Structure 1
Amino acid sequence: MTDEISTSAEYAETAALPRAVATHADPAECGRLESQPLPPAATRKPVEEKSPAEWAYERLILYIQNFEAQLDSTQEIAMGFTGGQAGVLTIEGVGFFDPDLVTFYGRDEDGLKTQLIQHVTQLNVILRAVPKEEPSEPPRRIGFQIMRQWAGGESGDASA
């Protein structure tokens, strides 16, 4: 118990803030993302005003960026599909459609254009490090590209 006194507004604000917790076998790796404050772009709009799709999309971007930061120059990010035989998607884009759909754009293991559309209640992804398709090209870092857009105020909102 704490002796700290909060106003009702402060209490409501704290209750609405997202919580994130992580445990890892290597303490240096533990909570790399979860222990950081949310970037300003993620806090411009209050959590309670975001749809489940928008909130899932924003958190996915953060996880993708964090994962990509751990890759070397010979690797790119891909996504494995859970619960099915669909294989792996090299991520080229991420989006959402309010109120409840998240989508991933990319290419499958054969290089075929692929799009996954998933309801937020069914969202299960595995982020994977895969060798770059073109070793001489710089790696694509979709998470960092999205964060630059996001920080600049571009939400990807089709109605804007």
Structure 2
Amino acid sequence: MSQAKTVVAPPEMFADCGEAPCPEPVLPGAPPERIRAMTDGVRMRDNPAEWAFVRLSKLIDDFEKGLNPDEEVGATVVGLPGDATLKFDEVGFWGPDLLLFSGKNADGKAVRVIQHYEALNVTLSATKKPEEREARRIGFQLSELVEKTNPGPKTKA
């Protein structure tokens, strides 16, 4: 079974929102350090699909931290056939408006969901990992991509 390659996007394709801080998620039971971990170093983006991707990436990473070693993240995305559970291989976006989800369905068949950022409706769930390998964590890869492409403020000439 092949692993998905990490995609590295060039920083110039991302918008610069200046010094606008990342709004914090409202999770009533979450300790402040958990909220800070999700928003640390992240700034808002002008591109709505990119901004949705950044926050979804952080939420996936946070969700994966609570999984057991024999579990990995799955998701239910509106529009999938059957039981609608998708095991993520990749999450991405094509700005300004599309979010992209690639992975496998419950039958192991390849699935790509293309969703408008305004229609984003994803339920993260724990799914049993295949016996032959360790659980795959995509949240870390997504967070790395967000960090590498997080725009620095443009300096005024």
* TM-score where L is the length of structure 2: 0.72
Higher Rg of the two aligned structures: 1
Q: Output one character per residue of 1:3-61: Cα deviation in whole Å (capped at 9) or x when no partner.
A: xxxxxxxxxx67x652421224xxxx567743546232x23xxx2x5211010000000
- Letter matched to residue 112 of structure 1: K
Q: Which residue of 2 aligns with 1:53?
A: 49
Q: Which residue of 2 aligns with 1:73?
A: 69
Verify the 8 A CA contact 1:80 1:125 in the aligned structure 2.
yes
Give the deviation of 1:137 after TM superposition: 1.2
User: In the superposition, relative to structure 1, how do residues 63 and 38 fare at CA in structure 2: closer, same or farther (>3 Å)?
Assistant: same
Q: What is the RMSD of the two structures over their aligned residues, measured on CA atoms?
A: 2.6
Q: Which residue of 2 aligns with 1:34?
A: 35
1:126 pairs, out of 123, 128, 139, with 123
- Give SS of 1:34's match: helix
Higher relative contact order (CA 8 A, sep 6+): 2
Q: Which residue of 2 aligns with 1:21?
A: 26
- What stretches of structure 2 of length at least 5 have no aligned partner? 1-18, 151-157
Q: Output one character per residue of 1:95-153: Cα deviation in whole Å (capped at 9) or x when no partner.
A: 011111111110000000001111011100000000002x24111100112223333x2
Q: Which residue of 2 aligns with 1:10?
A: none
Q: Output one character per residue of 1:63-115: Cα deviation in whole Å (capped at 9) or x when no partner.
A: 00001110011001000124765510001100011111111110000000001
1:150 aligns with 2:155: no
Q: Partners of 2:124 and 2:118 in 1: how far apart? A: 18
Verify the 8 A CA contact 1:23 1:31 in the aligned structure 2.
no
Q: Partners of 2:63 and 2:73 in 1: how far apart? A: 8
- Letter matched to residue 70 of structure 2: T
- Letter matched to residue 67 of structure 1: F
- Letter matched to residue 63 of structure 2: F
Verify the 8 A CA contact 2:71 2:135 in the aligned structure 1.
yes
* TM-score where L is the length of structure 1: 0.71
1:105 pairs, out of 102, 105, 109, with 102
Aligned residues: 132
User: In the superposition, relative to structure 1, how do residues 145 and 37 fare at CA in structure 2: closer, same or farther (>3 Å)?
Assistant: closer
User: In the superposition, relative to structure 1, how do residues 125 and 37 fare at CA in structure 2: closer, same or farther (>3 Å)?
Assistant: closer
- Give SS of 1:71's match: coil
- Give SS of 1:103's match: strand
Q: Partners of 1:142 and 1:76 in 2: how far apart? A: 9
Q: Which residue of 1 aligns with 2:135?
A: 139
Q: Which residue of 1 aligns with 2:89?
A: 92
